């Protein structure tokens, strides 16, 4: 595979861009693989990449029922941060954040990582106390986070209204090294690197059944035939419970829609990410000038990937109070994703009751920020059969043991 570079751009420009290679191969599936990963989103592709890079396992098929990155990876709002409360959460998200910083160089793909900073507004006294607690916990965890006063908030975000009619801004939890990245490029970069290692990425290949013998996974049935495997990794976000049913076990997960929207493009107005969790709204500005806006997850279970008017109204109403200047903007487009919510708002990276079968799920609405850390930890679990330090706290058994990793406060609206 040829490397992308300034020289390559100049060379292809001279021959009218006729010499670019396909970013990844589209092979027919083989009869059997050492590892099958179900789900060619960010988490599934990152798992495959780190299996190859860190553990030397490359006889891998990544199966995707639709197109690569067409699920939540292509439907999120690209926020990256690691200032979570619990030690296990902070560790895996900080691992992910640090891997994002070098991802463009590691994958030879510009993922447009922008460490512009992420602030989470404190708009009630209870929320302020919670964020102060998180800041102290992050200091002990080695995660650089600060609680900043309203004056500093205004300095970083001049367009903000600190004295809103319902919820004044009392300060903010600020992570200067948080930010955003280009979600499509993350998936494309991992896919390209996996293909270069000889892995097969098979799109339009839906899994319809899971075969087992003597309590051990042996193969998957797909719309493109039977494919044997030594190990199986399920990494399909909102559809995790459907796959678990095929394998014969249940997951403590509910699937709900999460919506987002973008405004028409405007001149630069906000150069950080702002989250207002009390009113369930958050906002950043893309490189194209659009305001990327989102809010809380829907209150009902569904597998839809579309928006609804009442959530847009609720989210925009809240943000207009905090950012009055956006009141006259027009919405350009709206979309939805299917998120997998656990009771403690923390993920599952675990072995399952079916031997050789592993699950990566439950990231809720915060999956994009965790992609590289999740892939790193999941690869270690699949390769060794036991979780490493990053994944050890996130096993399925914690729900039976009552050993929850409660991130309902630090996650705010779970972003």
* Local structure of 169: helix, strand or coil: coil
- Write down the pLDDT at residue 41: 96
Start-end of CATH 3.50.50.60 domains in the chain: 27-82+84-108+183-253+344-401
Structure tokens at 29: 């599936």
CA distance 292 to 272: 12
Start-end of CATH 3.30.9.10 domains in the chain: 118-180+255-341
pLDDT band with cut points at 50, 70 and 90 for residue 412: very low
Which CB contacts under 8 angstroms, 24+ apart, belong to 145-151? 145/83, 145/173, 145/174, 145/175, 146/173, 146/174, 146/175, 146/176, 147/122, 147/171, 147/172, 147/173, 147/174, 148/119, 148/172, 148/174
CA dihedral 74, 76, 77, 78 (to 10 degrees): -70
% of the chain exceeding 70 in pLDDT = 98
Four-residue CA torsion sign, 108, 286, 315, 121: positive
- Write down the pLDDT at residue 415: 46
Class of the domain covering 118-180+255-341: alpha beta
- Write down the pLDDT at residue 280: 82
CA distance 194 to 27: 13
Residue 410 has pLDDT above 60, yes or no: no
What are φ and ψ of residue 294, in 5° steps? -150, 175
> Which of 8-12, 147-151, 353-357 shows the lowest mean pLDDT across its residues?
8-12
Query: Mean pLDDT, to the nearest integer, of 222-226?
Result: 97
Instruction: Provide the CATH number for the domain formed by 27-82+84-108+183-253+344-401 in this structure.
Output: 3.50.50.60
pLDDT per position as a tens digit, 304-354 = 887 777 778 888 888 898 999 999 999 998 888 899 999 999 999 999 999
The residue that leads in pLDDT, 230 or 408, is 230
Question: Is there a contact between 269 and 299 (Cβ–Cβ < 8 Å)?
Answer: no
Question: Is there a contact between 376 and 99 (Cβ–Cβ < 8 Å)?
Answer: yes
Q: Chain-wide mean pLDDT for the chain? A: 93
> Which of 123-127, 177-181, 310-314, 392-396 shows the lowest mean pLDDT across its residues?
310-314
pLDDT per position as a tens digit, 28-85 = 999 999 999 999 999 999 999 999 999 999 999 999 999 999 999 998 999 999 999 9
């Amino acid at each position: 595979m040829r490397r992308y570079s300034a020289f390559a751009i100049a060379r292809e420009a001279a021959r009218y861009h006729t010499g670019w290679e396909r970013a990844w191969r589209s092979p027919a599936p083989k009869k059997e693989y050492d590892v099958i990963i179900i789900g060619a989103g960010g988490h599934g592709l990152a798992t495959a990449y780190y299996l190859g890079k860190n553990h030397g396992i490359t006889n891998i098929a990544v199966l995707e029922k639709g197109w690569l990155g067409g699920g939540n990876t292509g439907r999120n709002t690209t926020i990256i941060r690691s200032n979570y409360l619990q030690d296990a959460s902070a560790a895996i998200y900080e691992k992910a954040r640090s891997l994002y910083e070098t991802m463009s160089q590691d994958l030879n793909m510009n993922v447009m990582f922008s460490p512009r900073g992420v602030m989470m507004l404190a708009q009630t006294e209870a929320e302020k106390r919670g964020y102060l607690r998180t800041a102290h916990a992050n200091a002990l965890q080695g995660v650089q986070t600060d609680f900043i006063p309203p004056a500093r908030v205004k300095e970083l975000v001049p367009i903000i209204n600190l004295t809103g009619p319902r919820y004044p801004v009392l300060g903010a939890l600020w992570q200067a090294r948080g930010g955003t990245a280009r979600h499509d490029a993350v998936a494309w970069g991992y896919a390209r690197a996996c293909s270069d290692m000889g892995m097969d990425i098979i799109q339009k290949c839906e899994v319809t059944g899971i075969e087992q013998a003597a309590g051990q996974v042996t193969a998957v049935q797909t719309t493109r035939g039977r494919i044997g495997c030594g190990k199986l990794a399920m990494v399909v976000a909102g559809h995790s419970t459907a796959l678990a049913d095929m394998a014969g076990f249940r997951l403590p997960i509910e699937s709900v829609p999460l919506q987002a929207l973008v405004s028409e493009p405007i001149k630069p107005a906000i150069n950080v990410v702002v989250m207002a969790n009390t009113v369930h709204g958050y906002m950043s500005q893309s490189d194209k000038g659009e305001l990327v806006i989102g809010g809380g997850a829907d209150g009902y279970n569904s597998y839809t990937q579309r928006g609804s008017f009442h959530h847009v109204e609720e989210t925009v109403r809240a943000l207009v109070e905090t950012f009055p200047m956006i009141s006259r903007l027009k919405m350009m487009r709206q979309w939805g994703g299917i998120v997998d919510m656990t009771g403690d708002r923390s993920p599952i990276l675990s072995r399952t009751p079916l031997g050789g079968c592993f699950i990566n799920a439950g990231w809720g609405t915060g999956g994009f920020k965790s992609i590289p850390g999740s892939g790193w930890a999941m690869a270690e679990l699949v390769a060794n059969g036991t979780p490493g330090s990053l994944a050890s706290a996130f096993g399925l058994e914690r729900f039976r043991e009552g050993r929850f990793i409660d991130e309902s406060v630090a996650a705010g609206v779970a972003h």
